[in-house]
Amino acid sequence: MRESPKQHIWFYTRQSLLNGGEQGPYTEQQMIELATLGKIKLDTLLRSPTRTQNKEILAESIPKLALAINQAEIVAEAKRQADYDERKKEQKALAGKKRAAEAVKQKLVRRKENEIEGYLEIPIYRTQNPTQSNKSTIDFSKLEEYSSEYQPISVRQKLRTAPLAAKSLSVLAISSFLVSVPGLCCFPVGIVAIVLGIFGTLEINNPLKRKYGMPLAIPGIVLGILSLFVFLAIVAKRPDSFNRINLVGNESTKVDPRRAWICISYKSVYTQKDERTWIETDSETGKIKFEMDYKGRTDDYVELLNVAKNDLVRLYADRIEVKQDREWAAIGGGHWDPVNQNRSVATQAANEKQNQTKIATEKNNLSSSDPFLRTIRGNTWFGTRSSDQYQKLLSMSIHGDSEAFSKELIGLILAGDAVMFKDGEQVFLRPSFSLLMMKVRRKGDTAEYWTDTSATN
C-alpha cells in the first residue's frame, strides 16, 4: 500500500513588542499564505524539525517563500501608490473648487462696489480716449470749484477706508425666543413667536441691516411650531376629558339601556349606580361586593375597573371577561337584565332632566353673586399646585399610560401638592393666561390649584 506524502511543519519568529515570540506550527502552504498577507518578511527567522533540523534560517533563503514575499510587497506598494494618487487627485479637485468659489466671491464683491459707486457724490465723467471708452474715471480737473479740503482719492479707496457700523442684536429675534417659551402653554402666543422669528431671520440675512441673533430666531420658530403640534394633539384627544381619572373618554349622549348584568356562573349582579360608578352585589343577600369605576362602552361590551383588585372587566351579552397578563379571558356566563334596563332608561332620563335644572339654578345663583365663584361638576376632577405637574399628568393622559398617571397623582396627593375636588364644591377663579387650564382657589383655603377649564359649571 502506497504511503501518503509526509507533511512538513514550520515555525517563524514574530518581531513584536505586544505579541512577539515564536508562532506555529504551520504547513508549507500556510507559510506561503502568511507571506502573501505580509506577516512574514525576508528577514524573518524560520525553523522546521524535518527541513532544517530545528535550525533557524532566514525566509529569503527559501525560493518559494521569498517569491511570495516579493510579490506581496509589490502588490502592497502598488496599492499605496494608488491611494496616494487618489488623495492627490482629490486635493487637486478641492483646490480647484476653492479657487472657483473665491473667483465668484471676488466677482460679487466687485459688482457690489460698482453698485455703491453710483451712490457717491463725486462727479464721474467719460474720457474721450477710445481705448478707455468702456471705463468710468474721475476727472479731478473738474474739482477745482470745490474747496481745498477735497483730496483726489479713488472711489474704491473710500470704500475700503470707510468704517462699517457695528452689528446689533435683532429685537425681532430675541422677542421671538422670549415669546415662544410661554407659547407652549398658550396656542396664540406660539403663532406670534413664529411670525416674529420669520421676520427676525429676514432682518438678520439682510446685510444692510447689520443685525445678528440667528441662534435666538431659529429656536423661537421651532418652539412656536412645537406649540402648534401640542395644540393639535390636545384637540385630537378631546381636552374636555383630560382631567378625568377614567381615561377611556366620554360616551355618546344617547341613552344606552345596558344598566344591569346578571352573572349565571356565580351569584352576582352588576348594576350601574351613577354616571361613573357600577356596583357588584350578591344576587341572594343583596350585599355589595365591590364598587367599580366605569371606563367606557361599545356596541359589544361595557368596560369597568375593579379598583380593589385592579382588574379590568368587560360585560358582554353572553359572558364576562377579565384582563389577565395583557390578554382577555372569559371567567363566566351571563346576560343583560331587561327589567332593570327599562327602569334604568326612565331613571336616567329623569336624572338628566334634574341635572339640567340644577345646572341652570347654579348659573342663576352665580350670576346674581360673585362672578368669580364657580361650582365643581362631578367627583373626577383634580388640581395641582404647579402648572408643570398638571402638564405632566396631562401628557400621561394623552399617551394613555393610566398606570403612570395613577401613581403620579397619588404621590402628589400624599405630598400635599394635589387635591381631589368634590361634586358641588365651590371654588374661586384666579387670573391665568391659558386656554386649556385655569387656576382656582377652594372656598375657605388659601392654596391655589391648576385644573381643567371644564371642571366647573
What confidence category does residue 64 fall into, taking pLDDT thresholds of 50, 70 and 90?
A: confident
Give the model's pLDDT for residue 384.
92
User: What is the pLDDT of the chain when averaged over all its residues?
Assistant: 76
* CA nearest neighbour of 204 among 220, 191, 216, 192: 216
Confidence of residue 1 (pLDDT cuts 50, 70, 90): very low
- Give the mean model confidence (pLDDT) for residues 117-128: 47
Q: Assess whether 209 and 265 both reside in one domain.
A: no
Find the helix or strand (DSSP H, E) in which 228 lies.
helix 214-236
Residues 89 and 151 both lie in one domain: no
Helix axes 214-236, 187-205, angle to 10 degrees: 150
Residue 344 scores a pLDDT above 80: no
Q: Are residues 283 and 331 in the same domain?
A: yes
Q: Where are the beta strands (DSSP E) in 213-326?
A: 260-263, 268-272, 277-281, 288-297, 302-306, 311-315, 319-324
Cis upstream peptide for 25 (omega within 30°): yes
Q: Is 134 inside a domain boundary?
A: yes
pLDDT of residue 258 exceeding 50, the answer is: yes
Determine, yes or no, domain membership for 247: no
The pLDDT of 404-433, averaged and rounded, is 85
DSSP of 76-128: HHHHHHHHHHHHHHHHHHHHHHHHHHHHHHHHHHHHHHHHHHTTS-S--B--S
* Beta-carbon count within 10 A of 39 CB: 15
44 and 104 in a single domain? The answer is: yes
Section 52-57 average pLDDT = 86
Highest mean pLDDT among 46-60, 156-170, 364-378: 46-60
Beta-bridge mates of residue 329: 322
The reply to whether 322 and 300 lie within a common domain is yes
**Worst-scoring range by mean pLDDT, 148-162, 297-311, 438-452?**
148-162
Contact 269, 281 (CB under 8 A): yes
In a domain, 142, yes or no: yes
14 phi-psi bin (left φ>0, alpha ψ -120 to 50, beta other): beta
For residue 143, the enclosing domain spans 130-161
**Residue 326, pLDDT score:** 77
Q: List pLDDT tens digits, range 85-94.
A: 999 999 999 9
Q: Are 294 and 246 in contact (CB under 8 A)?
A: yes
Asked whether residue 58 falls in the same domain as residue 89, the answer is: yes
Which pLDDT belongs to residue 444?
82
Q: C-alpha cell of 136?
A: 468710468
DSSP code, position 241: G
Say whether both 47 and 98 belong to one domain: yes
Domain count, the chain: 5
Q: In DSSP terms, which residues pair with 428 in a beta bridge? A: 373, 441
Say yes or no: 304 and 375 in one domain.
Answer: no
Whether residue 352 is contained in a domain is answered as no
Q: Are both 153 and 180 inside the same structural domain?
A: no
Is 301 in the same domain as 330?
Answer: yes
* Cα→Cα distances 19→27, 367, 407, Å: 21, 92, 58
The residue with greater pLDDT, 147 or 84, is 84
Query: What's the mean pLDDT in 124-147?
Result: 44
**What pLDDT, in 10s, does the model give residues 171-223?**
888 888 888 888 777 777 888 888 999 999 998 888 877 888 888 889 889 88
Same-domain pairing of 268 and 323: yes
The enclosing H or E element of 362 equals helix 338-368
What are residue 302's DSSP bridge partners? 297, 315
pLDDT above 90 covers a percentage of the chain that reads 6
pLDDT computed for residue 316 by the predictor: 92
- pLDDT score of 192: 87
Model confidence over 155-184: pLDDT tens digits? 445 444 445 567 888 888 888 888 888 877
Residue 253: its pLDDT value, please?
41
